Amino acid sequence: MGYEKRRRMLASAAILGIVAATPASASATTPVKVGGWTVYDGVDGKNPAACAAVLPMGGAFRNGGNNELRLLSDGRAWYVGTDYNGPKKKLEVYYGFGDAAEVATFTWDGSSWLMLRLDKDQLDAFRGNPEFAITLGGAEGRWKLAGAGAAIDKVAQCSRDRGLKSAAAAPPPPPPSGVVGKGCPAPGSVRSVEGKRPVKVMFVNMTKAPLDIHWIGYQGERKKYQRVAPNSNVEQRTFATHPWIAVDPRGNCHGGVMRGDPNDRSEGANMFQIWD
């Protein structure tokens, strides 16, 4: 066998060896910085085409270190999560934007992340809120969300580039139209102020339609938190100085503006029955 032929065979064998030894995640492209976020692809072991935006240093949970926040699209849905080295199981976790919080079940993803699937309104909330928080294992992590909208758009582009058909980011919420539903407060007339007196409230839907429970933020903006079906109820952690409204599918409000009172110890305190 001639020298040149042997050289070509050895070179081919070397290339094949490199390919065989390369992990699937090596197909990921170079991470891209978007403000304080870093966008990665090939981050999900179950779906190597998944893309995610990661924000570091949110707080210390059970693993004793600064935890990352991850916004991930796997081509079917969007998720938010944090790395966690505690029990490998589903956990009830407090999370929310600013001082308004709710409880949801976060699921261990099989590696080291606790993740929650997001709906469109929740994904939109990352665009318009300054901060996101998770309380987990007796400790709290908080992340500043500056640049989150651009990071979400970059993840959506990354997903499209990798052939994920349904990973387009939810569009930014439209600007207020100025139309106020029946029974709703005028825009800007009601606002949250600094939260220092926590209280748990309950919303009871006594109407015949589903109601969306909205928190009214510090600038008078609405943020949907929960949906309560007819003849059902939901609990919500909040603060005494934070107003809430209940909005039906037509955009009309029921029950007026609702605020909890942590000093009220009477029977049925902080339970808001919402009627037609």
Choose the weakest-confidence range: 5-14, 163-172, 228-237: 5-14
Same domain, 107 and 227: no
**CATH number of the domain that 48 lies in?**
2.60.40.1880
For position 260, which CATH number holds?
2.60.40.780
Which pLDDT band holds residue 235 (cuts at 50, 70, 90)? very high
Give the pLDDT confidence of 48-71 residue by residue, as tens digits.
668 899 988 655 554 445 688 999
Q: Label residue 178 by pLDDT band (50, 70, 90).
A: low
pTM beyond cutoff 0.85 = no
Gyration radius (Cα) of the chain, Å: 24
Instruction: Tell me the residue range of the domain where 206 lies.
Output: 198-274
pLDDT digits (tens, 9 = 90+) for 100-155: 667 778 888 777 788 888 888 788 888 877 888 888 767 778 888 889 999 999 99
Give how many domains the chain has, as a whole number: 2
pLDDT of residue 5: 42
